[in-house]
Copies of this chain bind each other. A is one copy, B any other.
């Protein structure tokens, strides 16, 4: 390993120059005028792969090209890992909030500022750099690698979702590695081992056939807006627990190991509160804020609509009231079971004075890789070695849909190894990437393959 790390250190300036070069391409997938830049970015990353001697194919799609590059002469005796990344970036607007132009990378201290630099150009480039170090070290790479770099992550990955089932054999692997997520700080390199899932529904309460005069009829029939408030309001108790029977039945309890690990990162309540702009935090009793937002299911009202919403007042009993709801799921909840439990409970509670309609929406399963399994432990060792601090495990509150797609189509787990920091501003002006995170990420990527190979044997 010494040779590999030494190579990385020796070429540090080139890694930064390359990164700036890549970040100069305004590969904004959402904006039609950048179509030529999308092609340039795909070509850039393909050339980089070809330069490493990888077998590289740029696949045309209905949208932007997908680059697939693999280490040559794959050995069936070695495990195979797929590194996923994306060369497309978020739109840079509003320009006026950028300190320097978004596609003219600016180095200040140990940060590089540019659109897309931490989402996700820096991270997959770190993996390619680490591979270059391996290939030049003279040491045999203990794994087969496939790089899968797409150009539509910021716009929904439609082409990739079509591509995956048609290229199952080509993409077959033992696990997927993604570095497109965050870590709490350089002192806490982290493996994200769980993501929340989701199930969406719309609840509609119908009362009178039309809006009615609240003076002439008020008091003699149910008000659909009040019925909706009572129905939804009753779904959460004063301890922040969801009252739907069976709601928590499938929830996998956090192990002592997990709780201890999750608690290692210092949580600053005051700054979290200030960041969100709330007067006080609130959540399910018996859990920390970090556990609440990552490891516990939620019932969130995303929108309410009923009756008159304009200026002043209108004295009506509204004919109907509606709520949009998403429920965040945690392992091992399943969207179907929870959606049905909530619907059944609402149907049970709904008074006979109004009509209830439930429209189910999209669903996505939560995701969990056992943090104590051999691959996760290998990843943690690589993170610790790469960043020089003992790695932690963490959960994320949101979903990364591509992870479920890899599971579905390739039948494998994904290891989420973060490199970006909380103040990196992805999707916002003045996006940046820490050069220390870049260097640590490269070292982590270099350590990862022997660790994973050892774990596989």
Residues of A participating in the B interface, judged by any CB pair closer than 8 Å: 196, 198, 200, 202, 207-210, 212-223, 225-226, 228-234, 236, 272, 276-284, 289, 292-293, 296-309, 312-318, 321, 323-324, 326, 328, 351-355, 361-362, 396-399
Given contacts A213-B398, A279-B352, contact A300 B218 (CB under 8 A): yes
Given contacts A303-B308, A324-B313, contact A216 B293 (CB under 8 A): yes
Given contacts A303-B318, A307-B303, A307-B304, contact A226 B220 (CB under 8 A): no
Given contacts A226-B233, A303-B314, contact A281 B326 (CB under 8 A): no
Which of B200, B283, B314 contacts A313 (CB under 8 A)? B200
Check B308 against A302 for contact (C-beta < 8 Å).
yes
CB closest chain-B residue, reference A214: B300
Chain B residues whose C-beta falls within 8 Å of the C-beta of A318 in the assembled complex: 301-303
Check B278 against A208 for contact (C-beta < 8 Å).
yes
Which of B200, B225, B276 contacts A221 (CB under 8 A)? B276
Check A210 against B277 for contact (C-beta < 8 Å).
yes
Check B303 against A317 for contact (C-beta < 8 Å).
no
Check B305 against A304 for contact (C-beta < 8 Å).
yes
Given contacts A277-B210, A289-B220, contact A305 B301 (CB under 8 A): no
Check B281 against A353 for contact (C-beta < 8 Å).
yes
Given contacts A208-B276, A355-B279, A362-B313, contact A216 B398 (CB under 8 A): yes
Bound-state Cα–Cα, A71 to B304, Å: 58
Bound-state Cα–Cα, A214 to B276, Å: 12
Bound-state Cα–Cα, A192 to B312, Å: 29
Bound-state Cα–Cα, A262 to B243, Å: 43
Check B222 against A351 for contact (C-beta < 8 Å).
no
For the A-B complex with A279-B354, A280-B353 known, give 15 more contacts whose Cβ atoms are closer than 8 Å. Answer: A198-B315, A213-B398, A216-B293, A219-B292, A219-B296, A220-B283, A229-B301, A233-B234, A279-B355, A302-B308, A304-B309, A305-B309, A313-B326, A313-B361, A315-B326
Bound-state Cα–Cα, A314 to B232, Å: 18
Which of B202, B218, B315, B397 contacts A218 (CB under 8 A)? B397
Chain B residues whose C-beta falls within 8 Å of the C-beta of A292 in the assembled complex: 219-220
> Distance in Å from the Cβ of A364 to the closest Cβ of chain B?
10
> Distance in Å from the Cβ of A335 to the closest Cβ of chain B?
13
Chain B residues whose C-beta falls within 8 Å of the C-beta of A289 in the assembled complex: 220
CB closest chain-B residue, reference A237: B230
Bound-state Cα–Cα, A297 to B210, Å: 22
Check A219 against B278 for contact (C-beta < 8 Å).
no
Q: Which 9 A-B pairs have the closest CB atoms?
A: A209-B277, A215-B398, A233-B233, A303-B307, A225-B301, A230-B233, A229-B233, A304-B306, A220-B293
Check B233 against A298 for contact (C-beta < 8 Å).
no
